[in-house]
Structure 1
Amino acid sequence: MSICNSVVPIKSHSGAISYKAQSQDEDALVNAAAHLHMVLINKNGNSLEINFNSSVIRYELLDTLEFTSDRKRMSVVVKDCENGKIILMSKGADEAILPYASSGHQIRVFADAVEQYAQFGLRTLCLAWRELNEDEYREWSLMFKEANSALVDREWKLAEVCQRLEHDLEILGVTAIEDRLQDGVPETIDTLRKAGINFWMLTGDKQSTAIQIALSCNFIAPEPKGQLLLINGRTEDEVLRSLERVLLTMRITTSEPKEVAFVVDGWALEIALRHYMDVFTELAVLSRTAICCRVTPSQKAQLVQLLKGCEYRTLAIGDGGNDVKMIQQADIGVGISGREGLQAARAADYSIGTEFRFLKRLILVHGRYSYNRTAFLSQYSFYKSLLICFIQILFSFISGVSGTSLFNSVSLMAYNVFYTSIPVLTSVLDKDLTERTVMQHPQILFYCQAGRLLNPSTFAGWFGRSLFH
């Protein structure tokens, strides 16, 4: 917990140690180890120092096997400076660690612990280690350096080389981290649903964890008000049968008041997107709520692209580096700037504070006002331009198509700068409804979603007014 991470310890003038971490999970694990008297006190280049019960243990960091969304685990190779032992330490998702345990391990015990923690909505990680002999490490290190310097298929070669080392692991235990629900999340989801917005949860968490989180934030309704349909399978036939079963249920329950949602994991989703795109697309159109768990950043972007292909307007919101592809693929990207870093916020069209509940105001208030103002300004720009053009055209016939302008250059300049600027300033400051009214009655957003203020009919009306005037 204190060694296998990318955390950087920072020592203050008073001697207190704080940690700078790329993820909240790593920060929580390092602080938990510190509470257990295993304190990471220094990380300088390839040197690590751990304070354990007032004695300093030094390690040399030989190699770091970075976490990727495909491998779902991270490993480090360290050398104990006291006895010279070379140790591989790994942490990751249960399906990325437990299958590679050495024979004779009671894998079922750890798998049950993971499932039990997941039922409480906790995010789980498995910890493992293995001692390496020098010859084995020396041979592997040469392959690792060669793969790391490859110019073609570098990621694939690195994953293959890492796999050669991460086997016969001794499972140390399972950790569980509570990802506390922010204030206002259930209310925000409920309000935006009333505004006619459908929700999909795309997460890298375990299926049980994702379902518990979804229940706690009112993302899905519990029985008997709601029904949760599972899409699973490890083969193409199993996934197809699961898709057809869920699709049939969706068709039957579409007219019923019961809230129906489906859950799919990354493995089944990969098969569905590759072989059964038409079936999954129909399912996506019918469902208002979906939970996609254990998905990779690429799969998140694929799902956004799929929904855009169904003629939906998509908004993607995320707070971490894994959400960047999804945010950039969506019509509107919203990044949450928080402890996960600023990667998502920098890649997004809009950035909000550290809390999800700010999304409600962004959509209902600012989004609606922006739509109203954009609809007016775009059509008004055509109106004022067509108005003066029609006058010039009529005058050209009267003047025998001589090319003479009815207005002098100063009047034409003043037309755009002064004469027609007041409606623009008015529209920018105008609020047809108060913010409080819009927040209390989210159904008002249906009017904007229907495109009542900007469509061919309204444009024809502005065109007709310019001709009449």
Structure 2
Amino acid sequence: MIKIKGLTDQQVEESRRKHGTNQLTVQEVETFWDKLMDNLKDPMIVILVVALVVVIVLAILGFTEWYEGVGIAVAVALATLVSTASEFKNEQTFQKLQEEASRIFINVFRGAELRLIGIADIVAEDKVFLQPGDKIPADGKLIQGKIKVNQAMLTGEPEAVTKTPGDTDDTNLENPHVVYRGTIVEDGEAVMEVQTVGDETHFGKLAKDLVSEERPGPLRLKLAKLADDIAKFGYIGASFIAVAFMFKVIYMDHTGEFALYFSQWGQVIKDVVTALILAVIIIVVAVPEGLPMMIAIVLAQNMKKLLKSNVLVRQLLGIETSGSLNLLFSDKTGTITQGQLEAVGFLSVNEDNEDHLNTYKKFDEMPSKLSHLLNISFRENTSCVVNPGAEREAERILGGNTTERALLKFVKADKNGYDSDGLEMISQVLFNSTRKFSASRLKMKDSSEISFVKGAAEKILAQCSFYYDADGNIQELAEETKASLSDQMDKKADDGFRIIAAATTEKEVAEDELSNSLALLGFSLIRDDLREDSKPAIETLQGAGIHVVMLTGDRHGTAKAIAKDVGLKTSDDDIAIESAEMAKLSDEEVKKILPNLKVVSRCLPQDKTRLVKLAQEIGLVVGMTGDGVNDSPALSNADIGFGLGSGTEVAKEASDIVILDDNIHSIANAVHYGRTIYRSVQKFITFQLTVNVSAIMIAFLGPFLGFELPLTMIQLLWVNLIMDTLAALAFSGEPPLPKHMEEKPKAREEKLITKSMWSSILCNGIFIAILSIIFLKSDFMRSLFQRDGAFSQEAFLTAFFAMFVFLNNFNKFNVRVEEFNLFHHIFQNKGFLQVVGMIFIIQVLITYFGGNMFRTIGLYPVEWLYVLILSVVIIPFDLMRKYIYWILE
């Protein structure tokens, strides 16, 4: 047992005052003003500003009204400010939630106890207990133990270096006695004494220059390409519109008066500038600035919901890709099972019994000598630290893995101390998934030396030549008995038990091999019940077209039993294979069995990496769960790495998504949200392109049909604000619906815009354009807007502006759902109703207070009724479109 005296609370405060905290200075992030300045440097904004200057000059010369320039300036400023504010707020929310959910805790000796302490609360002179997978929290020297540390973060060298206790003032990175913040413990256990904290550590000095790069996911790549394609369309359309405007002015408005027109150079300049500004505004409307950042907005809006579902998104890549996931390799312990391992009995050898076993359900039932040896074995041959006197139950057994904690609870280590005086640790071999055993060599009170070994039942039993009888005496183990014990363990495994064998030997135990002279103490039976929601979660994933494969370190019988119980292995065609058997297969043979593979038992970390690569080679999008140091390569190579919340910091950092409760149900939630976000992005695109099609058609055809700017530059800027940032916010809160998990995964090469989306974009866009043209050209429509017995051009054009905005705002309801019930789950996205309602209200206010700037006047109630009736027509039209599309499909 490790015995270390830690700092008292008073000493902690003194150290903090003297040496400072372990918090690193927060790296400077873009401020709101930084983002605003970046957005103002956007090429389109620069063009608008130049155009604005020209308009102001023309206003000074008397060729145009002063408010046109002011209106453009206000509209551009408003659009830029809203976009910047939204982006800034969402990024801040996302980062804050990530920081809160990503806090790192580590084992630190405080007083006479070992406690879990937040990394920021560590102080100089603290004693930190380091185990495999820990990220070293500060710079310091080893005072006990031996570890292998990966210092690649600081040195770039991937090979782990050995660190041992020793005094030295040399802080060179190659120093064998000093460990450094940010490096990773790969193997071994040790206690370090913290010497340097916070910004003064090697990592702290480098941190200010570190820049973390995020891989762009497939969805963002598709969005970026789509934005480029739309931009090209916008540039071409804008050019035609500018030419069309000048054609109308020169050849239609001044037929036969070309010389007179061109002699009025001020008017010519004004018209050319107007055409250019109109083209620029069309580009602003057409180019979807918000498209590439849409996914960030959606994710920020859903971050709290994801955290409530125990899903922490570390990389946007993960949640983007989850909609395409079609193969998930899942851990068993804690993910499919509860992870609350409980040792429910111990079996010792009795050759007189028919099954050659004695069964003890409780530790107290065991004979004294046998229980004494088992007590020493479990307490001394462990990576755990026991604090039976700790106030918090969670801190009475710290470190180690869930199996070791279950074994210690069986011998009541969390409730009682025991006399370890006279016992001296000589050497220790720690457990890992490759060797599948651990060993501790002790010098006993009588000066004899014994090695205590525990590990996988079949591995330990195979090396046993002796056993302990009920009186604690060593007897020779007959081969017949050994074979019978093996059969009994297979039956126990088939019943779902995890079996850990314990043995002793007088020989020294090497790191990679066991001697064949072990004396068997017996077998510990460990139960890990299924999570109640595991079977429904796996059914949900399978229903979503995702093939789930369970990877476990358990023996084959246990793995198959769990797979049957959880609904993974349901037929003879379903394949369950052991790691050793899979190692004999060629890559091509593994690829052939992948479609039917359901279980890999005694799975090794290298098996995970191999499976990921082979699955990707046949075109599958692969998700991998992991919790250990050795799982990092598989997590990094997978399309989506799911780190487990109970796992090592290394595994979490290698992952794209951290499942905080380890539960496979939470993985299903992550996939569900990923698919929902994908659909939200598609809704936004559908709405935005519909506005693009209608606005560009109206602006292009207007000059030929005799319209005098049916939508002014300022009005188009307002439309741009509605369809870009505000629309992104409206669709970002869409809830995850059950139907999303009934669809097939999205293929990597699948186009972002589907046939159904094109149907909606083209039909509704053209319909809005045609309805607008009819409105503008119809004498009947003109007759509806009379003031003092005469037609009012101002009221007419104000009504058209309001109708165009209302049409697109009502179209949001069409786009939001694919079904005919437009109010389905609408109250689950309150943000949608708020944004839509706000646009209606602001549009009404603009008509009354926009004045010359927006070219509006107040409308009469009956005129608003006309606008409302004409605008809401888009809803029955789209319902009819949906019905026809449904029939044709």
Shared fold (TM-score greater than 0.5)?
Answer: yes
Letter in 1 for 2:591: T
Larger Rg: 2
Alpha-carbon distance in structure 2 between the residues aligned to 1:201 and 1:315:
12
Among 575, 579, 603, the residue aligned to 1:295? 603
Q: CA deviation at 1:430?
A: 4.0
Q: CA deviation at 1:446?
A: 2.4
Alpha-carbon distance in structure 2 between the residues aligned to 1:188 and 1:164:
40
Q: 1:196 to 1:3 in 2, by over 3 A?
A: same
Residue 6 (1) aligns with residue 6 (2): no
Q: Which residue of 2 aligns with 1:111?
A: 486
Q: 1:165 to 1:59 in 2, by over 3 A?
A: farther
Alpha-carbon distance in structure 2 between the residues aligned to 1:91 and 1:34:
18
Q: Which residue of 2 aligns with 1:123?
A: 498
Residue 284 (1) aligns with residue 594 (2): yes
Please give the residue correspondences for 1:340-355 in structure 2 after superposition, counting only pairs within 5 Å: 344-354=651-661, 355=663
What is the DSSP-based 3-state SS (H/G/I as helix, E as strand, rest coil) of the residue aligned with 1:220?
A: coil
Residue 25 (1) aligns with residue 439 (2): no
What is the DSSP-based 3-state SS (H/G/I as helix, E as strand, rest coil) of the residue aligned with 1:425?
A: helix
Residue 102 (1) aligns with residue 465 (2): yes
Among 417, 420, 423, the residue aligned to 2:727? 423
Percent of pairs with identical residues: 20
Q: CA deviation at 1:8?
A: 0.3
Alpha-carbon distance in structure 2 between the residues aligned to 1:193 and 1:178:
26
What is the DSSP-based 3-state SS (H/G/I as helix, E as strand, rest coil) of the residue aligned with 1:71?
A: coil
Please give the residue correspondences for 1:17-166 in structure 2 after superposition, counting only pairs within 5 Å: 18-34=396-412, 41=417, 51=418, 57-80=421-444, 82-102=445-465, 104-106=476-478, 107-132=482-507, 161-163=510-512, 166=515
Q: Do the aligned partners of 1:91 and 1:128 also contact (CA within 8 Å) in 2?
A: yes
Alpha-carbon distance in structure 1 between the residues aligned to 2:513 and 2:556:
28
Q: CA deviation at 1:455?
A: 5.7
Q: Do the aligned partners of 1:336 and 1:356 also contact (CA within 8 Å) in 2?
A: no
Q: Deviations over 1:336-379 (max 9, x none)?
A: 324x5665444322223423222332222x12211123445679
Q: Do the aligned partners of 2:388 and 2:413 also contact (CA within 8 Å) in 1?
A: no
Q: CA deviation at 1:463?
A: 11
Q: Deviations over 1:119-170 (max 9, x none)?
A: 21111111111124xxxx6xx9xxxxxxxxxxxxxxxxxxxx4356644111
Letter in 1 for 2:538: I
Q: CA deviation at 1:4?
A: 1.0
Letter in 2 for 1:454: L
Letter in 2 for 1:293: S
Residue 371 (1) aligns with residue 666 (2): no
Alpha-carbon distance in structure 1 between the residues aligned to 2:513 and 2:559:
31
Among 534, 541, 549, the residue aligned to 1:192? 541
Q: TM-score, normalising length from structure 1?
A: 0.66
Among 218, 221, 237, the residue aligned to 2:567? 218
Q: 1:89 to 1:427 in 2, by over 3 A?
A: same
Alpha-carbon distance in structure 1 between the residues aligned to 2:642 and 2:608:
15
Residue 304 (1) aligns with residue 602 (2): no
Q: CA deviation at 1:182?
A: 1.0
Alpha-carbon distance in structure 2 between the residues aligned to 1:311 and 1:83:
63
Alpha-carbon distance in structure 2 between the residues aligned to 1:447 and 1:268:
31
Q: Do the aligned partners of 2:544 and 2:745 also contact (CA within 8 Å) in 1?
A: no
Q: CA deviation at 1:293?
A: 0.8
Letter in 1 for 2:405: D
Q: Which moved more, 1:416-425 or 1:103-112?
A: 416-425
Indicate the structure with greater strand content: 1
Q: Which moved more, 1:14-23 or 1:421-430?
A: 14-23
Q: Do the aligned partners of 2:640 and 2:656 also contact (CA within 8 Å) in 1?
A: yes
What is the DSSP-based 3-state SS (H/G/I as helix, E as strand, rest coil) of the residue aligned with 1:34?
A: coil
Q: Which moved more, 1:205-214 or 1:68-77?
A: 68-77
Q: TM-score, normalising length from structure 2?
A: 0.37
Alpha-carbon distance in structure 2 between the residues aligned to 1:162 and 1:419:
65
Q: Do the aligned partners of 1:128 and 1:169 also contact (CA within 8 Å) in 2?
A: yes
Alpha-carbon distance in structure 2 between the residues aligned to 1:212 and 1:206:
10
Alpha-carbon distance in structure 2 between the residues aligned to 1:459 and 1:14:
60
Letter in 2 for 1:62: I
Residue 176 (1) aligns with residue 525 (2): yes
Q: CA deviation at 1:29?
A: 0.3
Alpha-carbon distance in structure 1 between the residues aligned to 2:461 and 2:590:
31
Among 743, 752, 755, the residue aligned to 1:445? 743
Among 192, 195, 205, the residue aligned to 2:554? 205
Q: 1:105 to 1:370 in 2, by over 3 A?
A: same
Please give the residue correspondences for 1:235-314 in structure 2 after superposition, counting only pairs within 5 Å: 260-272=573-585, 276-285=586-595, 287=596, 289-314=597-622
Q: Do the aligned partners of 1:71 and 1:96 also contact (CA within 8 Å) in 2?
A: no
Q: Which runs of 5+ in 2 are unaligned?
A: 1-377, 467-475, 701-711, 770-889
Alpha-carbon distance in structure 2 between the residues aligned to 1:281 and 1:321:
26
Alpha-carbon distance in structure 1 between the residues aligned to 2:691 and 2:411:
68
Q: Do the aligned partners of 1:61 and 1:79 also contact (CA within 8 Å) in 2?
A: yes
Q: Which runs of 5+ in 1 are unaligned?
A: 42-50, 141-160, 228-259, 395-406
Please give the residue correspondences for 1:387-398 in structure 2 after superposition, counting only pairs within 5 Å: none
